[in-house]
Amino acid sequence: MKTLRVLLILLCIGFDAFSQQAEPSPFQLAQEAFGQQRWEEALPLLDLWIQGHPTDQEAYWMRGQAHQNESKLEEALGDFSSLLTLNPQFAEAYFERGRVRYQLGHYEPAIEDFENFLKTPPGETNRVLYKVTPGSKGVSEVTTLQTVSAEQAYYHLGLCSIELGEYDFAILYLDEAIALDPEEPDFYAEKGRALARLGDNVPAIEAYELALSLNPDHLPAKQGLALVKTGGDEVLLGQLDQVVAEGSGNAQTYKQRGFYRMSHDQDQGAISDFGLAISLDPDDSESYFYRGKTYSRQKKWKEAEADYSAAISLEPENPEYLLARGQSRYVSGQLEEALADFTQTVVLDPDFASGYYHRGITYQRMNRKPEACRELQKAIDLGMEAAVGVWEKVCKQD
């Protein structure tokens, strides 16, 4: 009987111990809620756990992200800062705190965090970062990563530099990101934004188009491309006017305002602005190119050709500049000179459909039909739809 009583007591003790073992801790419950992205449910559990375990690094890590995803940015900032006080080598925390600081508009401290992240060896490979968008700043969405990578840090450094108006630095950082991951459209879209802010519209357009070639539905790239092609919005014009009025305008200011005016049919103002830009920076080929385009619109072919030639002398391997001068020469009747320019465009870029098209119409005007048809067919083969109608008119057999 005594033996039976002992066995029953042991069984009861064992059951109680099993029950105690089976009951999950607040941290385990928080982990489950966190893994299922139930942030609101995870937060009080983590609060309770941290009260009794104030040095638990993973708890601060999880709570910081839960706060972040609940848009409680100040609380998230406190969590990541506490974590980094406990462990200054927690690399991912620098990255996350940098993102929070970016969203709060603390750009310089955010830059320090991203730079510290790049200098700190990565931690555990199974830490998950959840998607957080930078807010209403009109920039691309931040990618979800299983482990944070250097290209994302460079990308965020670029974003911070754009907000600080340090566009040259932004382009350098974004180029680093592109070198590490050339398939990410966000990187090209933000580079386009930085270039557009500098007034470097041709490379900005190229960057936006590269972003769209990777993702045709990339909204920031679509919006940025539309703004650049129309010279920017009226808010930008007001800012440029204010800078000029304050006497602090530089070559880029005048070039950017000139581009806006050119895009809105304000030809005389555009020519004046491009002239001021050239006087301040005579080595910027774009200012000559844009002034040449404005002169061409006014049918001032001599002035246009002179500006295009100046642009070409500064950037002799730019097919767009050669095409523009060739077009100006074509409409003014200088067919041999125009043909030479169009020929040079396809020498520089054998896939430049517009170069073949313009060679074709120049040959046709020179009554050299076989050469015209050959060039037009080449333009069609490269996907230029405008060449089809001309080919059918000139080359199709009756």
Interacting residues of 312 by C-beta distance below 8 A, sequence separation 6+ = 285, 318, 321, 322, 325
Tell me what the mean pLDDT of segment 355-380 comes to: 92
**Tokens representing residue 327 in the block:** 């077009």
The yes or no reply on domain 24-198 and CATH 1.10.940.10 is no
**Tokens representing residue 41 in the block:** 């449910």
> If we measure between CA atoms, which residue out of 331, 369, 326 comes closest to residue 346?
326
Pick the more confident residue, 244 or 77: 77
Pick the more confident residue, 340 or 128: 340
Interacting residues of 76 by C-beta distance below 8 A, sequence separation 6+ = 64, 65, 67, 68, 96, 100
258-296 burial, b for 16+ CB within 10 Å, e for fewer? bbbbbbeebeebbbbbbebbbebeeebbbbbbbbbbbbb
> If we measure between CA atoms, which residue out of 333, 381, 329, 335 comes closest to residue 356?
381
pLDDT, tens digit (0-9, with 9 covering 90-100), for 9-24:
555 555 554 445 568 8
Record: fold of 317-398: 1.25.40
Interacting residues of 334 by C-beta distance below 8 A, sequence separation 6+ = none
> If we measure between CA atoms, which residue out of 236, 254, 174, 248 comes closest to residue 210?
174
DSSP bridge partners of 129: 145
Spell out the CATH class of 230-313: mainly alpha
Q: For residue 51, give the amino acid letter.
A: Q
pLDDT, tens digit (0-9, with 9 covering 90-100), for 368-386:
999 999 999 999 998 888 8
pLDDT, tens digit (0-9, with 9 covering 90-100), for 261-281:
888 888 999 999 999 999 999
Quote the CA–CA distance of 89 and 162 in Å, as a whole number: 28
Q: What share of the chain is helix, strand, coil (3-state, %, to 5)?
A: 75, 0, 25
Dihedral, 12, 15, 17, 21 alpha carbons, nearest 10: -170
**Tokens representing residue 110 in the block:** 């955010």
Cα–Cα distances (Å) from 66 to 49, 265, 301, 351, in that order, read 14, 51, 63, 51
pLDDT, tens digit (0-9, with 9 covering 90-100), for 275-330:
999 999 999 998 999 999 999 989 999 999 999 999 999 999 999 999 999 999 99
pLDDT tops 80 at residue 75: yes
**Is residue 116 a contact partner of residue 153, using CB atoms and an 8 Å limit?**
no
Quote the CA–CA distance of 285 and 269 in Å, as a whole number: 19
Q: For residue 334, give the amino acid letter.
A: Q
pLDDT tops 80 at residue 230: no
**Tokens representing residue 203 in the block:** 């490379």
Amino acid 365: pLDDT: 92
Element (H, E) at 351: none
pTM: 0.59
pLDDT tops 90 at residue 341: yes
Distance of CA 342 to the CA centre of its chain: 32
> If we measure between CA atoms, which residue out of 308, 189, 201 comes closest to residue 256?
201
**Tokens representing residue 372 in the block:** 């015209």
Residue span(s) of the chain under CATH 1.25.40.10 come to: 24-198, 230-313, 317-398
DSSP 217: T
pLDDT, tens digit (0-9, with 9 covering 90-100), for 194-228:
988 887 888 888 999 999 999 988 888 887 888 78
pLDDT tops 50 at residue 133: no
Question: Helix or strand or coil: residue 86?
Answer: helix
- Residue 52 C-beta-side C-alpha neighbours within 13 Å: 8
* Cβ burial, residue 214 (10 Å; 0-12/13-18/19+): middle
**Is residue 224 a contact partner of residue 204, using CB atoms and an 8 Å limit?**
yes
